[in-house]
Amino acid sequence: MSDWTAVSTLVMSAGPARSKGAGVDAGLAALLGAVIGLLGGLGATLISLRGERTRTRDDRLWRERAPLYTQLIAWQEDVNTWALGRAGPTAPRPDLVGPELHAQLLIFAGDAALRWLEPVETQLERAAPPGLPRSSDNAESQLHVYAEALLDAIQEEFVKGRARSWKEERRLGIGSRSLRSLFLGGGPRHRPP
């Protein structure tokens, strides 16, 4: 055998040249891949659990919030009907929100509804003493505007799941002018007791 053949046989039997760390690199890569897969699965699980927890919390919140908002909207319509004079010129002023409903609203209502509830109650107190007919100042028109803003806040929260931003409220004129078209008898109607 020639020297050249002996060298080529020796090289071929030895196989490809390897460094000592090549086996360790493959094991480390496999471990790293397994850790990345585990972290990805864990992250997906946590995101899913957070979403489910948020949905469950929202369901519980709206289960409590819906009847409260129904009562608040009925009260708001009574106040708005009175403020516009549709309940009659001698109709007594509606009462303020009761303490029990007010406490429940403080717990469950959204920020926008609470933000507009206070000015409605303040303007209602300014408009006339309880049980007496309307006064002649401008409190009723401002009361109407604030009552409409309260209704808008509740509807926006129900439909979109969030309240309007203050910039959006300002742009739309919420709380500064009537939101309803009162042309040809539009607006709230008196509900007999």
> Nearest to residue 150, comparing CAs of 118, 124, 177, 190?
118
Radius of gyration of the chain, Cα coordinates, nearest whole angstrom: 35
As averages over each run of 10 residues, the pLDDT of the chain (193 residues) reads 55 52 72 90 88 84 90 92 78 88 91 90 81 62 86 86 76 67 50 53
- Residue 145, pLDDT score: 86
pLDDT tens per residue, range 89-128: 777 888 899 999 999 999 999 888 999 999 999 888 888 7
Task: Note the pLDDT of residue 90.
Answer: 75
Domain ranges of the chain: 63-185
Q: What 3-state DSSP class applies to 105?
A: helix
Q: Evaluate whether 149 touches 123 at the Cβ level (below 8 Å).
A: no
Model pLDDT, residue 86: 78
